[in-house]
Structures are given as structure tokens and as C-alpha cells.
Amino acid sequence: MNLTLHLWRQKNAHDKGHMETYKAEGISPDMSFLEMLDTVNEKLMQNGLDPIAFDHDCREGICGACSLTINGIPHGPEKQTTICQLHMRKFKDGDTIYVEPWRARAFPVIKDLVTDRSAFDRIIQAGGFVSAHTGGVPDANAIPIGKVEADKAMDFAACIGCGACVAACKNSSAMLFVGAKISQLAHLPQGQPERKQRAINMVARMDAEGFGSCTNLYECEAVCPKGISVSGIARMNRDLLKATLTHVEGTASAG
């Protein structure tokens, strides 16, 4: 296959950045999208040019590092598929493909297609945990958890923290990400003691990081490679409302 790529190049955080055109030639349909970019990079380096920087690591769709917007869609056209698991057989010979980084104020570009997503770590630091220090916990079977509830917790726990939800949202809202963590722990007895404080702290951190609000377009759910449901956002809002009305401990760290 031969393809034309229009690709975002940006030297560093201070550079303005621009689109540049590349030819990808002799591409096998069995290649993943990132392997296609690898071959473009090999050519660039052979010509002494700076390769295109993009985040990636496991290439199995689980680490959440890869983060490309393909033809305007985060992670590209395939449903529930990270860009590392998207294969070139989904494109046609002669296609023109636009490749951009995540676009969001809270995810500034570091270089080319690499963005800084540390805001997600800081949101988890604000309350995305159970304060269970190592040791001193009961036997794993001491608290039964019904299969249905445990499965629901798992559905939300599947989030890989890639940030596609933010990139897809016109307001750059992080509510699918935050709602997923809040919902995972809300479905488990272990998450109950800190539930209200968690909602208050995580949402406050999310707002402080510059993420926008939800306007119920569900673009986040549509691009989520793990199929996280927007019902998590509703739960986040319910927990936050309940917490602000009934919780008196204030906004001190839940830890």
C-alpha cells in the first residue's frame, strides 16, 4: 500500500507547530498503524532527519501510552481499538491520512505527537485510591462482593488512562476518566468509607487542571478504546452532589 500522511510536527512545547506531508510507501496491510509510522521514521533517519516522536510502549492496547488522532478521531476509525491495535488493512491503498496529537489545553504538546498527560496522575493523587496501607488488611474473602457488582467495578476499572475521552470532547472534559475511577470504587465495599471525599477532591482537581465540563454529546464513550460507559459520569455527578450536600469534612486530602 502507498499512503499520503499529513502529520503534526512540533519541535518542542514552545514551537508553534505545523502539518507536514510524508509518503508512506510499500506498507503491508498486516502492519499496525504504529509499525507503519516506524517505517516512515526509518526512512527519515536514513536521510539524517529527525524521526516523528509519538508515545507508545506495550503495543497490545493496554498501557495507554499511544495517543494519536487519525482523521480527526482519537485512536482512529475502529471501535474500541487503540491506535497500536489498528491495522493498515483498515485503510485503502492511496488513502490520505491526517495524524495529530491529542488536542486539549490540559494536555500540552511536548514534541510532535507527544503530549503531557500528567494531569491525570494528579487527579488520581487527589483521591483515586483506597487508603489501605500495606499490611493489616482482612482476608480477601472476608467481605463477599456479588459477582454483578464486581463485574461492574471491573467494567470501569478497565480504563487505560489514555486520554482519548478528553481529546474527543469539544470542551476537553475529563469526566469519563474521573467518572470511571469513582464508579469502580463506588461499586466495591472497600471504596465506601472515602466515597464522598473522593468525589469532592477528584472533581476539584479535575477543574483546577483546566478540563472542561460535560455537555452530554457522548463523544468520549464513542472513542473510548475500552468502552467505558458514560453512566460513570452520571454517578460522578450524583456522588458529588450528595457529597457537597451531606459531607462536612471539607476538602482536606482523603489520605
User: 3-class secondary structure for the chain?
Assistant: CCEEEEEEECCCCCCCCEEEEEEECCCCCCCEHHHHHHHHHHHHHHCCCCCCCCCCCCCCCCCCCCCCEECCEECCCCCCCCHHHCEHHHCCCCCEEEEECCCCCCCCEEECCEECCHHHHHHHHHHCCCCCCCCCCCCCCCCCCCHHHHHHHHHHHCCCCCCHHHHHCCCCECHHHHHHHHHHHHCCHHHCCCHHHHHHHHHHHHHHCCCECCCCCCHHHHHCCCCCCCHHHHHHHHHHHHHHHHCCCCCCCCC
Q: Is 1 in the site for other proteins (CB under 8 A)?
A: no
Q: Is 252 in the site for other proteins (CB under 8 A)?
A: no
The b/e string for 70-81 (b: 16+ C-beta within 10 A; e otherwise) is: beebbbbebeeb
| Cβ at position 157, least distance to other proteins in Å | 5
| Cβ at position 146, least distance to other proteins in Å | 5
Q: Is 73 in the site for other proteins (CB under 8 A)?
A: no
Q: Is 255 in the site for other proteins (CB under 8 A)?
A: yes
Pattern 5-44, other proteins, x by CB under 8 A: ------xx---------------x-xxx-xx--xx--x-x
Segment near other proteins (CB under 8 A); pick from 68-76, 117-125, 164-172, 210-218: 117-125
| Cβ at position 188, least distance to other proteins in Å | 5
Among 83, 176, 185, 228, binds other proteins (CB under 8 A): 185
Segment near other proteins (CB under 8 A); pick from 94-102, 108-116, 168-176, 238-246: 108-116
Among 102, 120, 177, 211, binds other proteins (CB under 8 A): 120
Among 18, 20, 23, 154, binds other proteins (CB under 8 A): 154
Among 9, 87, 103, 247, binds other proteins (CB under 8 A): 87
Grid-cell match 460522578, residue found: 236
Q: Count the residues of the shown chain that bind other proteins, applying the rule CB under 8 A.
A: 82
Q: Give 212 or 225: the residue with its C-beta nearer to other proteins.
A: 225
Q: Is 221 in the site for other proteins (CB under 8 A)?
A: no
Q: Give 198 or 214: the residue with its C-beta nearer to other proteins.
A: 198
Q: Give 114 or 214: the residue with its C-beta nearer to other proteins.
A: 114
Q: What is the C-alpha R_g of the chain?
A: 20
- Measured in degrees and rounded to the nearest 5, phi and psi for residue 215 equal -120, 25
| Cβ at position 30, least distance to other proteins in Å | 5
Q: Give 42 or 249: the residue with its C-beta nearer to other proteins.
A: 42
